[in-house]
Chain A
């Protein structure tokens, strides 16, 4: 395309640039600026001033919890029907799609002829789970969701990382911050 070009201004290449001194001074200027800015704001915070300005970008968890976005994919929970029984019909969709093979369902018969089956036991092994969310996508009954924003998922042994149906059914959904 004639006449359509952008002229790139090359940075000068001389002994002054090559001595690295200007670049070093620039770098020191930037870091020193951050240092004094944060020092000033932190000191102001100590005296209760400038509270609305954040110094630094880190959250002092757990005192200062991190805001969680609504689309955050958290821990699993099983939903209930109005009568309190699990919505899950033990169709094995989630167990089949799970790439980490960490869902284990034991089904049982239910007297209600309009419900195929129900889980007798439902285990999710969080130490294997990769939090891909496929189980939520696969569920035909909207029985499983990942909206418990608990990221303190730690245990002293592997068995503490396995969620059973009781825990899954009785988890409350978290309220997103924004």
Chain B
């Protein structure tokens, strides 16, 4: 009993620190990557003991700055409601990660530890349901601060997140039909093998490219970042967190990055084989190369490789999301809503029917 509890706490700590750590690193990556993309150098002035460490200390200086800033609450606003909004946003942003498998099993003292926080049959539905709740914090933030611009930001967020939330769910029905399960761990197991005589990993992206594209687009919209940053729109309405300063603003800011990581995790799990390492098979006890060779890896090594592969893939998708964020201009609100309802929704419905038809024909 105690042992189970300890293992669960350990897993939660591992996942949470991974999520938070990656989100914090993303704040650094956002600056450095955009700098390199634009032929700049990026933030590099903060130092620890005279060491600049490629600008990494800026993560700490940001936190110090946000923590020591004045915490402004507009007059006539209930303080507890004002404080509630950022924490709702932050909590809801973190929760979907609980359903994500970050490895298969870790052999530990003669026992196998399942590397997933909550092994649910409806893991995907859980993740999407929680992700769609992110709107509550955003609406609360805009509504409670009694500021026109903030309310405008909330309304835009509502229009955008509801529209794209529908597509988010439907775009994943194709992969769900293909894998025949809503369990995220089983989805990864389905992808943890190869096709084409062992050459191609059986990843979802190769079977559902359209769903991948739609899901990635909608995922970016859910993170409320450029090109879908209408709720924020720094240059025009500042957005729903207009009346927030200090670490409360920091919470909204961090929530965006956490959502980015969570979207990357979902993308990796559903489309990019999750924790599976190409050609590495736990049953065969090592790598089975397409040309027939075999490299033995001990079970613990397999587990560690898979856990590392998960983070590497998540990191790569985060890089892609940042690349998109720093390349594309912003949509107008009507363009974004039209894109969601008139193009992405029909496309994802089409993909669902196409997948169903193909599965029906192949199945017979």
A positions within 8 Å CB-CB of B: 24, 27-28, 30-32, 34-35, 38-39, 42, 55-58, 60
Contacts and interface: CB of A to CB of B under 8 A. Distances in A.
Given A34-B36, A38-B36, A56 B324 contact: no
Contacts of B326: 31
Given A38-B36, A42-B36, A32 B323 contact: yes
B323 to A, nearest CB: 6
B362 interface: no
B39 A34 contact: yes
Given A28-B324, A31-B327, A32-B323, A56 B40 contact: yes
Contact of B37 (A34, A42, A58): A34
Interface in B38-66: 38-41
A56 B328 contact: no
Contacts of B41: 56, 58, 60
A140 to B, nearest CB: 47
Interface in B1-43: 33, 35-41
Contact of B39 (A27, A32, A56, A60): A56
29 contacts: A24-B327, A24-B328, A27-B327, A27-B328, A30-B327, A31-B37, A31-B323, A31-B326, A31-B327, A32-B37, A32-B323, A34-B37, A34-B39, A35-B33, A35-B36, A35-B37, A35-B323, A38-B36, A38-B37, A38-B39, A39-B36, A42-B36, A56-B35, A56-B41, A57-B39, A57-B40, A58-B40, A58-B41, A60-B41
A24 B39 CA distance: 20
Contacts of B324: 28
Q: Chain A at the B interface: mostly helix, strand, loop or mixed?
A: helix
Interface residues of B, number: 13
Contacts of A28: 323-324, 327
Contacts of A55: 39
Contacts of B328: 24, 27
A172 to B, nearest CB: 30
A36 to B, nearest CB: 8
A39 B328 CA distance: 21
Contacts of A39: 36
A35 B324 CA distance: 12
B248 to A, nearest CB: 33
Contacts of A60: 41
A70 B39 CA distance: 27
Contacts of B36: 34-35, 38-39, 42, 56
A30 to B, nearest CB: 8
Contacts of A42: 36
Given A24-B327, A35-B36, A38-B36, 12 more contacts: A27-B327, A27-B328, A28-B324, A34-B38, A34-B39, A35-B37, A35-B323, A39-B36, A56-B36, A56-B40, A56-B41, A58-B41
Nearest to B44: A60
Contacts of B38: 34
Contacts of B323: 28, 31-32, 35
Contacts of A58: 39-41
Contacts of A57: 39-40
A143 B15 CA distance: 72
Interface in B291-328: 323-324, 326-328
A132 B350 CA distance: 65
A35 B35 CA distance: 8
Contacts of A24: 327-328
A85 B302 CA distance: 85
> For A28, A31, A55, which residue has the most chain B Cβ atoms within 10 angstroms?
A31
Nearest to A42: B36
